[in-house]
Chains A and B, each alone.
Chain A
Amino acid sequence: MSAGADWRSAGPWDAVVVGGGHNGLVNGAYLARAGLRTLILERRPVVGGAAITEELRPGFQFTTFSYALSLVRPAVIHELDLVTHGFQPLVMPSTFCPMENGDALVLGPDRGENLTEIARHSRRDADAWLQYQHDLTMVARALQPVIDAAPPDLLDPSPEARAELAALARHLGGLEPKVLHDLVRLLTGSAADFLDHYFETEIIKGWLSASGVIGSRLGPMSPGSGLVLLFMHLGQHDGDLGSWAFHKGGNGGFTQVLARAARAFGAEIATGAEVDRVLTAGGRATGVALADGTEVTARVVVSAADPRTTFTRLVDPAELPAQLVSDLGRYRYQGVSSKVNFALDGLPRFPGLVGGRQDHWRGFTNIAPSVEYVERAFDEAKYGWYSTHPFVDCAVQSILDPDMAPPGRHVLSCFVQYTPYELKGGASWEAEREPMADRVQATLARFFPGFDDLVLQREVVTPLDIEQVAGLPEGNIYHGELLAPQLWAFRPAPGWARYRTPIGGYYQCGSGTHPGGCLTGAPGRLASYAILADLADLARP
Chain B
Amino acid sequence: MLRHTPFHSRVAAANETSLWSHWSGHLVVEQYQISERWEHAAIRNGVGIFDASPLRKYRITGPGAEGFLAGLLARDIRRCAPGQAHYTVWCDDRGFVDEDGVVFRLGPQEYLLTAYDPNLALLSERAGAGGARRGKVVVEEVTDDLGILAVQGPRSHTVLAALAGPELARLRPFELLAARIGEAAVTISRTGFTGDLGYEVICAADDAPTVWDRVSEAGQPHGLVPFGQVALLISRIEAGLLLYRVDFQSARRAENDDQRSTPWELGLGWMLAGIDDQSRPFVGRRALLRERDEGRSRWTMMGLLVDQVTYDAVHHEAGVTPPYAFHPVHTEALVYDGTGADGRDGEAVGFTCSFTYSPSLQRHIALARLRPEAAVPGRQVALEFTINHRYVRIGATVARNPLFDPARRKAVPAPLPPGLAP
| Chain A residues close to B by CB (< 8 Å) | 55, 58-60, 74-75, 77-79, 83, 87-88, 90-91, 93, 108-110, 113, 137, 141, 144-145, 238-241, 248, 359, 362, 399-403, 405-408
Q: How far is the CB of A400 from chain B (nearest CB, A)?
A: 8
Tell me what chain B mostly uses at the interface: helix, strand, loop, or mixed: loop
**Using an 8 Å CB-CB cutoff, how does the interface string of B39-65 with A read, 1 for contact, 0 for none?**
001001110000000000000000000
A60 & B45 in contact (Cβ 8 Å cutoff): no
Complexed CA–CA distance, A248 and B35 (Å): 18
Known: A239-B321, A402-B155; 16 extra A-B contacts, CB below 8 A, are: A58-B419, A59-B420, A59-B421, A78-B309, A88-B360, A91-B41, A93-B37, A109-B35, A141-B319, A238-B326, A239-B322, A239-B324, A241-B321, A401-B46, A405-B420, A407-B222
CB pair A145–B363 under 8 Å, yes or no, is no
A55 to B420, CA, bound (A): 11
Query: How far in angstroms is the closest Cβ of chain B from A146?
Result: 11
Q: Are A55 and B419 in contact (CB under 8 A)?
A: yes
**By the criterion CB–CB under 8 Å, are A83 and B45 in contact?**
no
Contact with A along B301-324 (1 / 0, CB 8 A): 000000111001100100101111
Given A74-B308, A91-B37, does the pair A402, B46 have CB atoms closer than 8 Å? yes
B417 touches A59 (CB 8 A): yes
B38 lies within 8 A of chain A by Cβ:
yes
Q: Decide yes or no whether B343 CB sits under 8 A from chain A.
A: no
Q: Does B357 contact A (CB under 8 A)?
A: yes
Q: Which residues of B contact A110 (CB under 8 A)?
A: 34
Are A141 and B316 in contact (CB-based, < 8 A)?
Answer: yes
Assuming the contacts A78-B363, A87-B362, A110-B34, asked whether A59 and B419 have C-beta atoms less than 8 A apart, the reply is yes
Residues from chain B with a CB closer than 8 A to the CB of A141 are 316, 319, 321
Cα A113 to Cα B16 with chains together (Å): 12
Q: List 15 A-B contacts (CB under 8 A).
A: A59-B419, A83-B362, A88-B360, A91-B359, A93-B37, A108-B34, A109-B35, A109-B37, A141-B319, A141-B321, A145-B313, A238-B324, A239-B312, A241-B321, A405-B420
Min Cβ gap A355→B in Å is: 12
- B295 on interface, CB distance cutoff 8 Å: no
From residue A522, how far is it (CB to closest CB) to chain B in Å? 13
Is B131 interfacial (CB 8 A cutoff)?
A: no
Residues of B within 8 A of A (CB): 33-35, 37-38, 41, 44-46, 155, 221-223, 307-309, 312-313, 316, 319, 321-324, 326, 357, 359-363, 417-422
Task: Determine if B321 and A406 form an interchain contact, defined as CB atoms under 8 angstroms apart.
Answer: no
Chain B positions within 8 Å of A240 at CB level: 324
What residues on A are CB-neighbors of B418 within 8 Å?
A: 58-59
The one of A59, A74, A359, A401 that contacts B312, using a Cβ cutoff of 8 Å: A74
* A contact residues around B313 at 8 Å (CB): 145
Residues of A within 8 A of B37 (CB): 91, 93, 109, 238
Q: Would you give the shortest CB distance from B370 to chain A, in whole angstroms?
A: 22
In the complex, which residues of chain A have a beta carbon less than 8 angstroms from the beta carbon of B362? Answer: 74, 77-78, 83, 87, 238
CA distance A90 to B43 in the complex (A): 12
Complex Cα distance, B35 from A88, in Å, reads 17
- Neighbour of B360 across the interface among A83, A137, A399, A405, CB < 8 A: A83
- List A contacts of B357 (CB < 8 A): 238-239
